[in-house]
Structure 1
Amino acid sequence: MLQLSGAGKRFGQKLLYEDVNWLITPDERTGLVGGNGTGKSTLLKVLAGIDGLDYGTVSRQKGMTLGYLPQDGLALRGKSVFEECLSVFDDLRGLETEAEALSHQLAEHDPASAAYQAAADRYSHITELMHAHDIYTLDYQVGTVLGGLGFGKEEWERRTEEFSGGWQMRIALAKLLLQKPSLLLLDEPTNHLDLETREWLENYLRNYENAFVLISHDRYFLDVTVNKTVEIWNKRAHFYFGNYEKYLKQKEERRTQLMSAYKNQQDQIEHLESFINRFRAQATKAKQVQSRMKELEKIERIVVPEEESTIHFTIPQPPASGRTVIDVQNLTKVYPAKDGGTKRILEDLTFTIERGDRIALVGANGAGKSTLIRMLAKLEEPTSGTVKLGHNVLADYFAQDQYKVLDGNAEMLDDISGIAPKVPQTDLRSLLGCFMFSGDDVFKKLGVLSGGERNRYAMAKMLVSPANMLLLDEPTNHLDLRAKDVLLDAIRKFSGTVLFVSHDRYFIEGLATKVFEVEDRRVHIYPGNYEDYLYRKAGGPEKTAASFVAAPAPVAAPVVAAPAPVVKTPPVKRLNPIKLRLLEEQVREAEEVIPKIEAEIEAAEAAMAVFTTPDAAQKAAAALDVLRAKHARALVEWEELALELESQQD
């Protein structure tokens, strides 16, 4: 369908990649990965025909269509959201008008005439096209995609220019999905999406009937949407079959094989050079020496590229807080509305955050997450109710636009060294390197950096001198996969308390021990990780409505707060025979349940392979997610029961 042959591209004097050979097939589902600056976005533009090559060729199949979504920069105006999306079908709607005109001609011409036959042939062709594109369901198609991408019906008639940049990109994405081009090219499509709309897009792409290539720094999104990974590394394209998780394993296996081959080749070279040097001066060995020299010259040397070092940065541990970190009572927030009235954002919230909690704050865009986190950070006053910090709590807040509070005249390395004088500069430079600042970048003034670059720096700066309560609003924005891993690893080892807003599911699943969902002006608390949250949302045990059930009275903190002591768990006593028999029955029941769930999952996956409508596919995918969460929980329960039974039988 599309082929790159010997493709190479430069950015100024820098070679991005060369000798790329890539045949894109009609069933392509590829994730394009690589470090920042390797040329991923440039390659996507080449595929889209927006940018050209410096070397090699690109050939496209006749009749194929391309759809390209950049990271940002699109601005739409002049139409309502619905009209803008419906405009992608203008050609089809033109066919409908032509079909109507042809029907009048058929009524006027003699059925035996050549004009009648020509009109009839054209009418038949047009109606086939209209039927193939479901022309009578265009409004339904537009509504389905807009709803999936988070546009409520009340917003469909709003003018496109009334929406912010992030929502403008959603409109552009909606148009591309409705067009269904032969090859869909998406550069960071999840950048402006919340968790709910990301999940919808994941399901949509799973069932997309044509090919797509996408760039994403969202590991979970890559894992569930692609079946091939192309990595731009060491100025070459490397191809892996499977999702991102499989790509990581295959890459490690390839490197192990490469290192083994490199070692064998070095041994061979050393052996040949030793023979040549030993017998070079002996006339009787001249023929053998010449033979070895020719053999040495023919060896195609294996080059081991410099591997990116993995940085494991440990956050300096802060002083301990009291057990209760934040106590919220009857919190309400009301804003003035455009019509002169008021708009309630949050209403009568009551909850407690305790030391060591790692809380993911989730909810649809506009639900009030950022408002809540700002009130917890004491940057915004509630309309009513209280937010009380516990004993010895030192809170630090990271905003989506954190860059605005940085000193633009300060040099990066001097600035970060000033707040962490005890941290060696080599460690600071390594940390800055993880956040994509290398070489002379560390000597730049903060004022010359872009907004995204300054936000990345602000996150690195927070890590070297953290408070014991971190309030993070979208900390993974503008970070690549490597930087996200560094941040995730560092916060996991952090002994303080964290509440964060993120739309990156892998980050949430790797960090959260509780989920706070903001919905309908309330906060609902779900214990456990994100998978547990999805399970309960899908019909598991009822949620705890912290917004209207008062939290228990907090335990008073001691005058000098200290980390909770380590309590040794006493040995488990043997159960009496009746309890032992009950435990055996529970294990047996769990072992019978798991295969049944697995059979249901298999049947659901088979059903999803048959596409009917986007709405049905979305419901089927949601049901499958519920089954998978149920299966994971059943496995955990079975393991816990089996271990307990084993301990009682020892």
Structure 2
Amino acid sequence: MLQLSAAGKRFGPKLLFEDANWLITPDERTGLVGGNGTGKSTLLKILAGVESLDYGALTRVKGMTLGYLPQDGLALRGKTVFAECLSVFDHLHALEAESTALTHTLSEADPKSKEYAVAAERYSDIADQLHVHDIYTLDAQVGAVLGGLGFSKEDWERNTEEFSGGWQMRIALAKLLLQKPSLLLLDEPTNHLDLESRNWLENYLHDYPNAFILISHDRYFLDVTVNKTVEIWNKRMQTYHGNYEKYLTQKEERRTQLMSAYKNQRDRIEALEAFINRFRYQATKAKQVQSRIKELEKIERIEVPEEEATIHFTIPQPPASGRTVIEVSHLTKNYEPKHVLEDVSFTIDRGDRIALVGANGAGKSTLIRMLAGLEPPTSGEIKLGHNVLADYFAQDQYKVLDPKAKMLDDIAGIAPKVPVVELRSLLGCFMFSGEDVFKPLGVLSGGERNRYAMAKMLVSPANMLLLDEPTNHLDLRAKDVLLDAIRNFTGTVLFVSHDRYFIDGLATRVFEVEDKRVHIYPGNYEDYLWRKQGGPEKVIASITKEPEPIAVVEAPKAVEAPQAAVKRLNPIKLRQLEDKLKFAEEEIPRLEGAIAAAEEKMGVFTSAEESQRTAAELEELRSERAKRLAEWEELALLLEEQSLA
């Protein structure tokens, strides 16, 4: 469908990539990954025809269609949201109008005339096209996509210019999804989506009939949408088959193989050089020396690219707080005439890591600001526990930074005991390297200053962190550093995030803000979804004025019905299942060996007591083997279903 051949691109004097070869097929479902500045977005623009190559060639199949969504910068105006999205079908509406006109021609023309034959043929072609595109369901298609991306029905009739930049990007994404081009190119499509919209987009792409290539810093999103990963690294393109999780495994395997080959080659080169240097001037060894010199010249040297250092930053542990960190009683918040929260009560304990989730506008940011003391409640009480020191990170945290302060001086001023080398490593993790660390904060963009503000918080944290979208503007590497640091943090954390992998890897409880109330679920986001979708405890606790009884969903009775689609599992849980399967596969042969030994022992009589003990042991081993076999079969079936999901 599209092919890159020996492609290369420069950005000024900097070479982004070279000698790139990529054959994009009609079933392409690829994640494009690599560090910041390696050229991912540039490559996507080249594929879209927005930018050109400096070297090599780009070939497209005739008739293919492309759809490209940039990270930002799109602005739509002049139509309502619904009309703007419906406009992607203007060509179909034009065909429909032409079809209506042809019916008049056919009714008036002589059936034996050439005019009638031409009109009939054209009418038939148009009818086929309208049938393929399901012309009578266009409004329903638009409504389904807008609803999935978070637009309420009231929003559909609002003008597009009334929406902020993030919502404008959602409208642009909706138009692309409705167009269904042959190749969809998406640059950070989840940047402006909440969790519910991301979940919807994951499912939409899972069933998307054509090819797509996307860039994303959301690991979970990549894991569940792509089956191939292309990495731009060290100015080269590397292809890996599988999602992001498998890419990481394969990359490590490739590097291990490369290092092994490099070591073997170095050993051979050193042996050859040692022989040559030892016998170079001995006439009796001249033939052997020349042979080894030729061999040395023919060796194609293996180059090991410099690996990006892995940073493990440990947050300085804060002084311990009391057991109860925050106690909220009968909290209500109104922005007249809108009621955001009504009579909410809950308790946060020391060590809790709470994910605050809910639809856009539900009141998440309002609640976290009230907990931080930045906004007063309309009524109710928020009580901090003993020795609680709260620190708040806002979505626009950059606004509180001193624009004149230089980055390294500013962060060193709040962490004088942390070595400068460690501070620079941390800043490097958050994409500030080289001379960047000496820049005044005022020259940085909003996103860059927010990244710096997060790094600054990590070097001197309070014992209660309130984080509103801490993963915004972070790449995958920085997110991993932040996740590892907070996992090892002994304080308490309440955070809002739209990153599924981050929530699943961190949360011990989920607070859902919905219908002016807060519902509490134990576990991470995967556990929360399971209960929401009908787990054994659908709602663990609904925190309201008069708590309702816990709703328990009974197991469904067996009925004859179409089999439901297999639910795709979180990659973390999928890996746990694979580990259990591996353990069962190792345990079954061990049990069979023990059973054979016990059966052999039973054949040799020593005493009645010994025979009884051996018989009991044999029975226990057989029971354990049966249990492991059943477990193995269940796990193997489940993993097979996941591979087909």
Alignment CA distance shift 1:479-1:454 (3 Å) = same
- Offset, 1:548: 2.8
AA matched with 2:441: L
Structure 1 match to 2:505: 510
Q: Secondary structure at the match of 1:380?
A: coil
Equivalent in the alignment of 2:14: 14
**Correspondence 1:546 to 2:531:** no
Is the alpha carbon distance of 1:549 and 1:280 closer, same or farther for their aligned partners in structure 2, counting shifts above 3 Å? farther
Q: Give distance in 1, aligned partners of 2:576 and 2:285.
A: 70
Superposed counterparts of 1:498-577, under 5 Å: 498-540=493-535, 541-543=537-539, 544-549=541-546
Per-residue deviation at 1:286?
Answer: 2.5
Q: Deviation at 1:549? A: 4.9
CA shift for structure 1 position 631? 13
Q: Over residues 309-365 of structure 1, what are the superposed CA-to-partner deviations in whole Å (9 max), with x where a residue is unaligned?
A: 1111110000111111111111111113xxxxx111111111111111100000011
> Structure 2: where are the runs of 5+ without partners?
549-554, 584-619, 624-645
What residue number does 1:332 align with?
332
What pairs with 1:86-485 in structure 2 (closer than 5 Å)?
86-336=86-336, 342-485=337-480
Runs of 4+ in 1 over 4 A off after TM superposition: 623-626, 628-633
CA deviations 1:94-142 (Å, max 9, x no partner) are: 0000000001000010000000000000000011011111111110110
Shift of 1:296: 1.1
Match of 1:610 in 2: none
Distance 1:348 1:631, change over 3 A: farther
> In 2 relative to 1, CA 624–483 (structure 1 residues): closer, same or farther, beyond 3 Å?
closer
TM-score by length of 1: 0.85
* Secondary structure of 2:543 counterpart: coil
Aligned partner of residue 131 in structure 1, secondary structure: helix
Distance 1:135 1:308 in 2: 52
Match of 1:30 in 2: 30
One-letter amino acid matched to 2:544: S
Match of 1:3 in 2: 3
Q: Could you give the per-residue CA deviations for residues 573-604 of structure 1, whole angstroms, max 9, x where no partner exists?
A: xxxxxxxxxxxxxxxxxxxx9xx99xx9xx96
Which digits, 9 at most, give the CA deviation of each residue in 1:237-257, with x for residues without a partner? 000000000000000000000
TM-score w.r.t. the length of structure 2 is: 0.86
Q: CA deviation at 1:624?
A: 5.8
Partner SS for 2:22: strand
SS at match of 1:545: strand
Amino acid at match of 1:224: V
Alpha-carbon shift at residue 517 of structure 1 (Å): 0.1
RMSD, aligned CA: 2.5
Q: Percent identity of the aligned residues?
A: 79
Structure 1 distance, partners of 2:479, 2:268, is: 41
AA aligned to 1:88 is: V
1:258 aligned partner, one-letter code: L
- After superposition, the C-alpha distances for 1:498-537 in whole angstroms (9 at most, x for unaligned) are 0000000000000000000000111000112222211211
- Paired residues in the alignment total 572
How far residue 417 of structure 1 moved from its aligned partner, in angstroms, is: 0.2
Deviates more, 1:218-227 or 1:528-537: 528-537
Partner SS for 2:32: strand
Gap runs ≥5 in structure 1: 337-341, 552-592, 608-619, 640-645
Is the partner of 2:542 in helix, strand or coil? coil
Distance 1:420 1:625 in 2: 41
Residue 91 of structure 1, CA deviation: 0.6
Pick one of 475, 480, 484 that aligns with 1:489: 484
Aligned pair in 2 of structure 1 residues 550, 537: CA closer, same or farther (>3 Å)?
A: closer
| In structure 1, C-alpha distance between the alignment counterparts of 2:46 and 2:492, rounded to whole Å | 45
Q: 1:415 to 1:629 in 2, by over 3 A?
A: closer
* Amino acid in the other structure paired with 1:147: G
CA contact (8 A) 1:350 1:550 kept: no
How far apart, CA to CA, are the structure 2 residues paired with 1:548 and 1:309? Answer: 52
